[in-house]
Amino acid sequence: MLSIIHSMALHGLDGYLISVQVDVAPGMPCFEIVGLPDASVRESKERVKTAIKNSGIDFFSRRVIVNLAPANIKKEGSNFDLPIAVGILIAMEKVQKHEIQSFLEKTLFLGELSLDGKINQINGVLPICIEAVKKGLKRILLPKENAKEASIVKGIEIYAVDSLKQVVEFLDNEKILQKESEWQNEKLGDKKYPVDFSEVKGQETAKRALEIAAARWT
């Protein structure tokens, strides 16, 4: 059976959509990842297999082929672990949610898997979420540690997940996940100060660094 899961990768600060295509079929047992994966992506084979087993899900010997499309762009990082695992489980019919395909068409999956099935934090979530909105996606499932950062972006539903088992239960309608609330900017008020940078002569680099640091709180 074939399944297609959406994920995303970064080129600099630009995100581009990745189609994680998984085919599971009878035959000589193997697990291959194609589509210009780097070493960290190829290593996901062992993480994914072990995480599925340690999540209490039977992983029978099958011929598993994963294609990361488009195939002419190099794929880097460990954030494809979760979409690969979800794609395998759907292709093996371990997820029985009604109308799963229509749900997947508007959903993005991101996350690195531990061997025990826990989903670990990843990098580059903010530009990925911005690009996901541009692509018209409706929701993102990502690591709990990245949820606050992702919630800065408006126009998309953020679901924080802890483990692969939790994701499967959500997809099977056995567990409800609460959407992450939108990030609220905490204003510090209009407090007036007797001095400002106009009192400082020169030191342009130091003043610029302080302005950038202060911008985090405005």
The string of DSSP codes covering 82-111 is: HHHHHHHHHHTT----TTHHHHHTTEEE--
Q: What percent of the chain has pLDDT over 90?
A: 61
Q: How far apart are CA 98 and CA 144, in angstroms?
A: 26
In a domain, 99, yes or no: yes
Identify whether the C-beta of residue 21 lies closer than 8 Å to the C-beta of residue 2.
yes
In a domain, 183, yes or no: no
In a domain, 133, yes or no: yes
In a domain, 195, yes or no: no
In a domain, 166, yes or no: yes
* Residue predicted with more confidence, 21 or 208: 21
In a domain, 162, yes or no: yes
Query: Is 186 a residue whose pLDDT tops 60?
Result: no
Q: How far apart are CA 81 and CA 96, in angstroms?
A: 21
In a domain, 193, yes or no: no
- pLDDT attached to residue 214: 74
Region 47-65 average pLDDT: 91
Domain housing 148: 2-171
Task: Say what the pTM is.
Answer: 0.81
Query: Is 188 a residue whose pLDDT tops 60?
Result: no
Q: Count of domains in the chain?
A: 1
Query: Is 22 a residue whose pLDDT tops 90?
Result: yes
The pLDDT-based confidence of 142 (bands split at 50, 70, 90) is: very high
CATH number at residue 82: 3.30.230.10
Predicted confidence (pLDDT) per residue in 68-91, tens digit: 999 988 898 899 999 999 999 999
In a domain, 32, yes or no: yes
Q: E strands of the chain, at which residues? A: 2-11, 14-25, 30-34, 63-69, 107-109, 112-113, 119-120, 139-143, 157-161
Predicted confidence (pLDDT) per residue in 120-137, tens digit: 999 989 999 999 999 999
